[in-house]
Amino acid sequence: MLELDFSFHPADAHPEILQMTAAPQIVATNLVRPFRWTDAPGLHDLMHAVGDRGHRAERHDLANFDAELKLPRVKPTSNVFVIEVSGGVAGYSSVYPELDIGRAVVTIAVAPDQRRRGLGRALMTRALERARSIGARMVHVPATAGDQASGAMLQRFAFSPVRHFLRMICKVAPSERKGLDGGYEIRQLRSDEASALAALQNAVFAGTWGYSANTPEEVEARLALPGRGPANAYFICEAEKPVAYAWSHLYHDANGLIGTVYMTGVHPSYRRLGLGESVVSGAVRALFESGAGQVDLEVDSQNILAVNLYERLAFTRRGGTFWYELGLRQPPWGQGSRAQVRGPGDQTYPRPALGPGTHP
């Protein structure tokens, strides 16, 4: 099993960081304001400059970005905050509510030439206020593994790393698996099957760490995004009933077409039958056939069955994401105690089911 090292502190490896920390210029928190729709181009530019989470390099156009901002739950004029510098968006934070599991997911970034001036702190403070006000019990933040600035900032806010997701990459299409048993059929999704996909996905991931149940409307809206449509999703059905699925995403980065296995899983009653391997290898082969130069995915490092499955399909480990957690029972950082704010019984983590387990 993968050993996680949570003992990392940037100053251990880089004493110069301590000097950088010594004299930050503080930016007033009142520079943070809610997103306005006219910010979309500037926010889009910022996300391209920093990468949405550091290692994602998707080159989507403004129309796609607009469609993502209009997804149900995103509600950017309430949940996204920006700081403008010299007429451009210099930083943002975003709060994605997943209140059915008690959490909000916060993402945050500051333009490289505006860092170490307190923008990140101001944006995080505002995001935590928003998360608290909508009733979240905890906040989770994804940060690229090994990124010292984000690790340092999150630890300054008393976040703790709670989960590690592996990023895995496959550069060669997997060979054809032996045929499915007679009772099963693999096929692409039809355009009217958003409800069936939502029902299967919710059954697969119920109780899995970080999974918030999706409504059919939410799944339908995501299926309408470019590169994520039914043509990139597969069901394995038993007598017409979907029992396993793989939902992929095909997009351009700076070097060409990339495929991502976005969500995949097998209904709990149909596990250990080889259906997961069949549906993932079918979806990955289809991505290569569509021109993808490589296929990637993220998987919870504790999900050993899934990690093994991907390794059998020639996926290799390539970095990953740490998920940090902050309980919201006490005032956020800067307004009171900086002591550990996670209380006993705040959260227990069931073992995840098969699948990447990203938050869709």
- Write the binding mask 92 to 121 for ligand COA: x where contact by CB under 6 A, - elsewhere: ----------------xxx----xxxxxxx
Order the strands of the 241-253 sheet from edge to edge. 33-34, 80-85, 88-98, 103-110, 138-144, 316-327, 160-170, 294-300, 256-266, 241-253, 233-238, 184-188
Name the residue number minimizing CB distance to ligand COA.
Answer: 120
User: With binding defined as CB under 6 A, does residue 351 bind ligand COA?
Assistant: no
User: With binding defined as CB under 6 A, does residue 149 bind ligand COA?
Assistant: yes
User: With binding defined as CB under 6 A, does residue 332 bind ligand COA?
Assistant: no
**Least Cβ distance, residue 153 to ligand COA (angstroms):** 3
User: With binding defined as CB under 6 A, does residue 353 bind ligand COA?
Assistant: no
DSSP label at 118?
S
By beta-carbon proximity to ligand COA, the closer residue of 22 and 239 is 22
Rounded to whole angstroms, the Cα distance separating 7 from 9 reads 6
- Write the binding mask 156 to 195 for ligand COA: x where contact by CB under 6 A, - elsewhere: x---------------------------------------
DSSP letters for 43-90 = HHHHHHHH-TTSS------HHHHHHHHTSTTT-HHHHEEEEEETTEEE
User: With binding defined as CB under 6 A, does residue 326 bind ligand COA?
Assistant: no
Q: What is the CA radius of gyration of the chain?
A: 21
Residue 59 makes CB contacts below 8 A (sequence gap 6+) with 48, 251, 252, 253, 254
By beta-carbon proximity to ligand COA, the closer residue of 50 and 71 is 50
- Write the binding mask 17 to 36 for ligand COA: x where contact by CB under 6 A, - elsewhere: x--xx--x------------
By beta-carbon proximity to ligand COA, the closer residue of 116 and 351 is 116
Nearest of 258, 285, 273, 79 to residue 180 by alpha carbon: 273
Q: Which residues bind ligand COA (CB under 6 A)?
A: 10, 17, 20-21, 24, 50, 54, 108-110, 115-121, 141, 143-144, 147-150, 152-154, 156
